[in-house]
Chain A
Amino acid sequence: MNLITKHNRKGRLIAVEGLDGSGKSTQVYLLKRWLELEGFKVFFTEWNSSVLVKNATKKGKKLNLLTPTTFSLIHCTDFADRYERQIWPLLCAGYLVLADRYMFTAFARDAARGCDPEWVRNLYSFASLPDITFYFNLPPEIAINRILEGRPTLKYHEAGMDLGLSTDPYQSFRLFQGMIHEKYSQMIREFDFISIDASLPVDVQQHTVREIVKEKVDLPAFKHRARSGL
Chain B
Amino acid sequence: MKFYGKGIPNINADDLTGKLIVIEGADGSGRSTQIRLLTDFLEGRGFGTVNVGLKRSNLVSAELEQAMQGNVLSQVTLSLFYATDFMDQLENNIIPALRAGFIVLADRYIYTLMARDILRGSDPGWLQTIYSLALVPDAVFYLNVSPSFLIERTFQKKDSLDYWESGMDVRMSRDIFDSFIKYQRRMKAEFQKMKEMYRFEVINGNRSAKAIAMDLQKKVELILNI
Q: Which of B72-90 contact A (CB under 8 A)?
A: 72-77, 79-81, 83-84, 87-88
In chain A, what residue has the closest Cβ to B70?
Answer: A52
Contact partner of A77 (CB less than 8 A), chosen from B5, B8, B9, B80, is B80
Tell which of B8, B77, B126 touches A2, judged by Cβ atoms closer than 8 Å: B126
- Given the known interface contacts A56-B59, A56-B60, A84-B77, the answer about A122 and B88 at a Cβ–Cβ threshold of 8 Å is no
A208 sits at the interface (CB 8 A): no
Q: B6 an interface residue at 8 Å Cβ cutoff? A: yes
**Contact A84–B88 (Cβ < 8 Å):** no
Q: Nearest CB to that of A116 among chain B residues?
A: B6
Contact with A along B72-113 (1 / 0, CB 8 A): 111111011101100110011000000000000000000000
The smallest C-beta distance from A13 to any residue of chain B, in angstroms, reads 17
The smallest C-beta distance from B94 to any residue of chain A, in angstroms, reads 13
Tell me whether chain B's interface is mostly helix, strand or loop, or mixed.
helix
Question: Interface extent on A, as a size class?
Answer: 20 to 34
CA distance A115 to B132 in the complex (A): 13
Given contacts A73-B80, A122-B126, contact A81 B87 (CB under 8 A): no
Chain B residues with CB under 8 Å of A123's CB are 80, 129-130
A48 CB, nearest partner CB in chain B, Å: 14
Name the contact of B84 in the complex, choosing from A77, A84, A122, A126 (C-beta under 8 A). Answer: A77
- State whether the Cβ of A43 lies closer than 8 Å to any Cβ in chain B: no
Residue interface mask A66-88, B partner, CB < 8 A = 1: 11111001101100110111000
Which of the residues A74, A76, A83, A126 comes within 8 Å of B59, measured between beta carbons? Answer: A74
Hey, which chain B residues are within 8 Å of A65, CB to CB? 58-59, 88, 92
Contact B130 A70 (CB under 8 A): no
Query: In the bound complex, do residue B80 and residue A76 qualify as a contact, i.e. CB atoms below 8 Å apart?
Result: yes
Partner of A52, one of B72, B129, B133: B72
User: Is A125 an interface residue, CB under 8 A from the partner?
Assistant: yes
A119 to B88, CA, bound (A): 17
Q: Is B169 part of the binding interface, using a Cβ–Cβ cutoff of 8 Å? A: no
Inter-subunit contact B8/A69 (CB<8 Å): yes
- Subset of 9 A-B contacts with CB under 8 Å: A53-B63, A69-B8, A70-B87, A73-B84, A74-B60, A77-B84, A80-B77, A80-B79, A126-B76
